[in-house]
Amino acid sequence: MAEQLSNHQAKPQQSNQATTEDILTIFKRRGLFDSLRKSLFTDFKESSTHESLIAAIESLVESDSSATLATRNRGKAAALLEGSVNRSEAFGNVNKYIDEHVSTRNEELKRKIEDMVRQINTELRTATGTSTEAQKDATKLETNGNRQ
């Protein structure tokens, strides 16, 4: 009996209150991470860096040194091609593009994420009718984001 009590006391009481994990779960379930990722990828696909990468890959495939790709099975050929692309200047340019693009859109991305979290937080607050730890965390996130 004493053992059961101590196990029970060790576990926090479950409540209807939302947690930061609840907000994160909703964020993921709604595909909000994916929508941000897709937005950034669409920007990349419209860039000259994407065109350069495609041209570099086509050049590698058509080059004499890649002639052996045709004689290999698809898995090995893909691995060889991936290694060649990773070592190429075009891949370095892609990394540079990503760093620059994300840093220039940093404030915009922060605002989007904060708005999404705020919306989820409002919905949870409305659904539960209570102030929760997650709402306090979201408020801290909003406040910290505005200071930076």
Q: Which residues contact 111 (CB under 8 A, 6 or more apart)?
A: 145
Tens-place pLDDT, residues 61-115: 777 555 566 667 778 878 888 888 888 888 889 989 999 988 898 899 999 999 9
**CA atoms of 88 and 103, how far apart (whole Å):** 24
| CB-facing half-sphere around the CA of 10: CA atoms within 13 A | 6
Mean pLDDT of 22-51: 91
**CA atoms of 107 and 100, how far apart (whole Å):** 13
pLDDT(8) > 60: no
**Residue ranges per domain, the chain?**
34-104, 106-148
pLDDT(42) > 90: yes
pLDDT(5) > 60: no
- What is the full DSSP assignment across the chain? -HHHHHHHHHSPPP-S---HHHHHHHHHHTTHHHHHHHHHHHHHHTSHHHHHHHHHHHHHHHSGGGGGGGGS-HHHHHHHHHHHHHHSHHHHHHHHHHHHHHHHTHHHHHHHHHHHHHHHHHHHHHHH-S--HHHHHHHHHHHHHHH-
128 or 33, greater pLDDT: 33
pLDDT(11) > 80: no
**CA atoms of 109 and 93, how far apart (whole Å):** 22
**CA atoms of 136 and 20, how far apart (whole Å):** 9
